[in-house]
Structures are given as C-alpha cells and as structure tokens.
C-alpha cells in the first residue's frame, strides 16, 4: 500500500483520527500537509511525523470558512507541487439533547464544520485534481452517517449528508480518475470523545458487538487503503469500520 511520491492534505490532523491518519500516510511515504484550526496541536503532529523521518508541513485552516479553505489549498498545492490525496476529517460532535431542546446554535455549528466544511474542502480539492488529472479523497463520515446516534440530531444529519455528498462526488468525477469514498467509524477512543462522561462512553463500548471501542490506528489503516491504488476500483463506497455496530 505504499504511498511514496504522493502528496496529501489531512484536515483536523491535530488530534485523534486525523493525527493518526496523517502519521500513517507519512509512514507510507506521502508528503503531508497537516491542517487544523488548532495550531499548536497541528504543529505537534508535524513534529511526530518528522521524528520518524516523514515529510510534513502545517497549515492552519477553519474548514467552515470559505476563505480559509481557499487559502489552505492554494498554499498546499504550492508547497506540495500538486495534490494526489485528501482526507476531509475535521469534525465536531455535540452534547446529546432531545431535538426539541437542541439550541439552534448547536445545529448551525455542527452542520457548518461537519457538512459545509467537507463540501468546501471537497470543492477545493476537486478543482486541483481535475486540473492535474487524478486524485483520491476520503471523507470522514461516522456510524451516525448510516444509522441513528441517540439524541445527536445535528451530528446524525451532518454525517448522513457527508455520506450522500461522497456518493454524489464519486459519480460526478468517476471518469476523471478521481475516486471519492467515505469511512464510517463506530466509536473510536480519541480525545474527541474523551470529554463525554464515563457512563456514556461505556454505553457506547457496550453497544459495539466486538465489545470495545475502535482505535485511531484501525481507522487510519482503512483511510490509507481507500486512498491507495490497492483500492483502485473503489469509488462512492462508505466503508464501515465499526466492530459490527451497523449490523447489530
Ligand atoms: N472518535 C469517534 O468515535 C468518531 C466516530 C466516528 C466519526 N468520527 C469523526 O472522525 C473525525 C475526527 O474525530 P476525532 O474523534 O479524531 O476528533 P478530535 O476532536 O480528536 O479531532 C478533531 C480535530 O478537528 C479539529 N477541528 C475542529 N473543528 C475544526 C474546524 N472548524 N476546522 C479545522 N479543524 C477543526 C480539532 O481541532 C481537532 O484537532 C470527525 O469528523 C468525527 O466526527 C469520530
């Protein structure tokens, strides 16, 4: 699955799945632009990649902001000399709440980062990839993109949107040698879920047929596979990496 001589951008790469995915792509030989809204976290990912002899640069970006995304991909293309691979991973969750009690601000914030952010990045990546004539993209969905996440209406709606957007983009660009897939993790032990109360996290682990949370490394491996030429005939797929949760 070597990704030598490939160039990649990973958003939300300052933590959790994004950081681990950036490290995995770099370990496979790709030159990686590590992007995140949190500068210090992103720089730590770059340090970790360089420490193992990989190639990485940090570029700050708020994926929900159009100008910020335009700047990210202009700069990334210049630094990388192109763009072969992209992982649209940046995303946020929200405090569980019954829908009628959910603040409108929560809805707007989650849709803006998780769905609008994915759209803005995808749009910028496809502009570059149609020009250079190839590419492979992975969007970060979630188990909440294919089934209900209890009391997480905004997150469920946003991630269902990511799955739909992935299929749409995959078919629009299938004849441009650009593949677009999504990954649907079940619950994964990352800093992103560390803020939830212990009892909620335990409930999530108990819900998974394999009886444990996933690891960021397991998700990163699936991302690397979908990006690689080993997945050359796969586009529009939504890969479940969820310990069996979907079919329980
Ligand atoms: N952890 C899980 O159980 C799980 C399960 C399914 C899907 N996911 C998805 O995987 C992705 C990563 O999740 P994680 O658990 O690693 O989260 P995390 O919180 O550990 O990392 C998310 C990163 O995204 C960055 N980010 C947040 N808002 C941003 C913005 N507006 N612009 C740019 N960067 C921004 C954060 O600074 C952080 O570094 C998310 O899209 C999440 O929805 C996570």
Flag whether 91 is in a domain.
Answer: yes
Per-residue pLDDT averaged across 170-182, rounded? 98
Flag whether 246 is in a domain.
Answer: no
User: In this predicted model, what pLDDT tens digit does every residue of 5-29 receive, in sequence order?
Assistant: 999 999 999 999 999 999 999 999 9
Rg for the chain, CA atoms, rounded = 17
Please report, for the domain that includes residue 110, its CATH number: 3.40.50.720
Q: Whose CA is nearest to atom 41 of ligand 1?
A: 91
Residue with tokens 């009628």: 100
pLDDT at 197 exceeding the cut of 90: no
Reply yes or no on whether 155 is catalytic: yes
Flag whether 11 is in a domain.
Answer: yes
How far is C-alpha 234 from the chain's CA centre?
Answer: 17
Q: Is the CB of 135 under 6 A from ligand 1?
A: no
Flag whether 2 is in a domain.
Answer: no
How many domains is the chain partitioned into structurally?
A: 1
Flag whether 35 is in a domain.
Answer: yes
User: In this predicted model, what pLDDT tens digit does every residue of 96-114 receive, in sequence order?
Assistant: 999 999 999 999 999 999 9
- Residues of the domain holding 110: 7-241
Flag whether 81 is in a domain.
Answer: yes
Per-residue pLDDT averaged across 30-41, rounded? 98
Residue with tokens 């660009």: 173
Is there a contact between 111 and 60 (Cβ–Cβ < 8 Å)?
A: no
Flag whether 1 is in a domain.
Answer: no
Q: Is the CB of 190 under 6 A from ligand 1?
A: yes
Flag whether 66 is in a domain.
Answer: yes
pLDDT (0 to 100) of residue 1: 67
- pLDDT-derived band at 200, boundaries 50, 70, 90: confident
9, 17, 88: residue to mutate for ligand 1 pocket, most atoms within 8 A of CB: 17
The edge-to-edge listing of strands for the beta sheet with 55-60 is 55-60, 31-36, 7-10, 85-88, 135-140, 178-185, 238-241
Neighbours of 100 (CB within 10 A): 6
| Main-chain dihedrals φ then ψ at residue 14, nearest 5 degrees | -90, -5
Give the span between the Cα atoms of 29 and 46, in whole angstroms: 14
H-run or E-run covering 83: none
Q: Is the CB of 184 under 6 A from ligand 1?
A: no
- Where do the H-state alpha helices sit in the chain? 16-27, 39-51, 66-80, 104-110, 117-132, 153-172, 191-194, 198-207, 216-227
Give the span between the Cα atoms of 39 and 156, in whole angstroms: 28
Is there a contact between 125 and 9 (Cβ–Cβ < 8 Å)?
A: yes
């Amino acid at each position: 699955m070597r990704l030598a001589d490939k160039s990649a951008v990973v958003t939300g790469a300052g933590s959790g799945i994004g950081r681990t995915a950036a490290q995995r792509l770099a370990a496979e030989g790709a030159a990686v632009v590590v992007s995140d809204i949190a500068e210090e976290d992103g720089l730590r990912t770059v340090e970790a990649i360089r420490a193992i002899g990989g190639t990485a640069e940090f570029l700050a970006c708020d994926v929900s902001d159009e100008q910020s995304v335009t700047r990210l991909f202009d700069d990334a293309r210049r630094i990388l000399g192109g763009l072969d691979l992209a992982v649209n991973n940046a995303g946020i969750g929200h405090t569980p709440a019954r829908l009628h009690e959910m603040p409108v601000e929560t809805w707007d914030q989650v849709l803006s980062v998780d769905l609008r952010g994915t759209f803005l990045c995808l749009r910028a990546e496809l502009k570059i990839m149609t020009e250079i004539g190839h590419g492979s993209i992975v969007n970060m969905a979630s188990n909440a993109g294919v089934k209900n996440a209890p009391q997480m209406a905004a997150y469920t709606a946003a991630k269902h949107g990511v799955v739909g957007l992935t299929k749409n983009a995959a078919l629009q660009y299938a004849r441009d040698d650009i593949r677009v897939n999504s990954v649907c993790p079940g619950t994964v032990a990352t800093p992103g879920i560390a803020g939830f109360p212990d009892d909620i996290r335990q409930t999530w682990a108990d819900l998974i047929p394999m009886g444990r949370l996933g690891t960021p490394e397991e998700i990163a491996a699936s991302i690397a596979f979908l990006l690689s030429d080993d997945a050359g005939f796969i586009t529009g797929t939504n890969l479940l990496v969820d310990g069996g949760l979907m079919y329980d």
